[in-house]
A and B are shown apart, each in its own frame.
Chain A
Amino acid sequence: MLSKNQIAQRIAKEVKNGQYINLGIGIPTLVANYIPDSLEVVLQSENGLLGIGPFPKEEDVDPDLINAGKQTITMLKGSVLFNSAESFAMIRGGHVHLTILGAMEVSENGDIANWKIPGKMVKGMGGAMDLVASAENIIVAMQHCSKSGESKLLTECTLPITGVRCVKKIVSDLAVLEVSPSGGFILKERAPGVSVEEIKEKTSGKLIIEGEVPEMVFD
């Protein structure tokens, strides 16, 4: 099974040179740590910044400079600041190439649920609905199963959904899967030491296995 950092490390391999990328809160934020320096990419923060840099040194902390997770950050050279309407114009307008976000559930047709547990947890959707409705490529970072062992990769989402037919790829603690345009999770890679049998058992939606499934390779 992959740790959160390993999930982030595996997702970073999906990043391509020249991309503008929005990273969600949680595991997706960690992806930034694993993007190779050889790639020129720009990270967008939907609260109004292109060009997120590393977390600041203690003496450089600026309360007027935070990311969408409200963490203090820095700006890289060439950064630009803008208002919230402009930020989402970039997102809805399809100018952000890759969106990486977390999920509570994903269905086999690519629906995602990550904003609400009725009667229990109401945090709000933040920018997630705008992001999933518009991004050309959406990768989800998630745990394959809940703490009680229930699969979170389902035939249909049970929680209120954030967007329909939008997830293209999932990196879980057990596997890399692609969502088939005709429905179903195509198993692409296994986490080290995890068998196809185990992934089958822990995937409640339709799982598609095409030939040998390789183990993930970490550099």
Chain B
Amino acid sequence: MINKTVKDAHEAVADIPTGAFLMMGGFGLSGIPENCISALLQRDIKDLTIVSNNAGVDDFGIGLLLKKRMVKKMISSYVGENAEFERQLLQGELEVELIPQGTLAERVRAGGAGIPAFFTPAGVGTEVAEGKEIREFDGKQYLMETGLKADFSIIKAWKGDTAGNLIFKGTARNFNPIMAAAGKICIAEVEELVEIGELDPNQIHTPGIYVQRIFEGRNYEKRIEQRTVSN
């Protein structure tokens, strides 16, 4: 087996250059690569393009990268919980491409799977369709969307082995598995890194072939956006 282990988040993100095209896993703050975001904050780089379903909150997640003005463009589906994001967007300081969530997921999946484009009904008749090819299949209209690939995809899993095989937990899975395949270099941070042979092959969600670097993260905060409890 090929050992993909790197020492820590700093080593994992050390060669990400200014202007890089990144993907980051997570839905809201669930399943985001906390360690890599912290390590990126200490790098002197900017003009990043980031594909991520959300943009964190003002003081956590990708919101921290936005605050430090490291991001040139976000490609997301929902940014509702980030006031700084909304401010930079409305002021024209940040480029933003808003994409329907399913289209975003499928563009990432397609990119990683070698599919250059596909047709989806989402967004037909809306401003999302502007400038895109429309085709009719069985009497219904669809628009063409293209696959997305990244220079680096940065993801977070629950458990992983040194060969890069990954298992996710709960809804922290979200975009992480599909982004693994769509990055030329996929960096995976995991809560628990184990030796090969310790994960049951029947239970692995993401095959290690997609992962180039893996390390065990530290001090996960796992902040909750909407703590909701029943009485």
Measured CB to CB, the residues of A under 8 A from B are 45-49, 54-58, 61-73, 81-85, 87-89, 91-92, 111, 119, 121-130, 133-134, 160-164
Bound-state CA distance A82–B27 (Å) is 13
Per-position 1/0 for B80-102, Cβ under 8 A of A = 11000010011000001010111
Chain B residues with CB under 8 Å of A128's CB are 100
When A and B form their complex, what is the total count of cross-chain residue pairs whose Cβ atoms lie within 8 Å? Answer: 174
Chain A residues with Cβ below 8 Å from B78 are 123-126
- Chain B residues with CB under 8 Å of chain A are 27-31, 53, 76-81, 86, 89-90, 96, 98, 100-106, 108-109, 120-128, 158, 168-178, 205, 222-230
| CA of A117 to CA of B86, assembled, Å | 12
- For the complex formed, measure the closest distance between the CB of A207 and the CB atoms of chain B, giving whole angstroms: 24
A123-B171 in contact (CB<8A): no
Q: Are A83 and B177 in contact (CB under 8 A)?
A: yes
With contacts A47-B174, A84-B105, A134-B121 known, is A160 near B100, CB below 8 A? Answer: no
- B224: contacting residue among A55, A63, A126, CB under 8 A: A63
Q: Distance (Å) between the CB of A205 and the closest chain B CB?
A: 18
- Please state if A72 and B227 are interface contacts (CB–CB under 8 Å): yes
Whether the Cβ atoms of A64 and B170 lie closer than 8 Å is: yes
CA distance A122 to B124 in the complex (A): 20
Complex-state Cα separation, A175 to B127, whole angstroms: 30
In the complex, the answer to whether A83 meets B174 with C-beta atoms within 8 Å is yes
> B30 near A129 (CB under 8 angstroms)?
no
Q: Is the CB of B126 within 8 A of A65?
A: no
- Partner pick for B126 among A49, A54, A72, A160, CB 8 A cutoff: A160
Q: When the two chains form their complex, are residues B230 and A57 in contact, meaning their CB atoms are under 8 A apart?
A: yes
- A32 → chain B, closest Cβ, in Å? 12
Q: For the complex, give the distance between the alpha carbons of A198 and B76 in Å.
A: 41
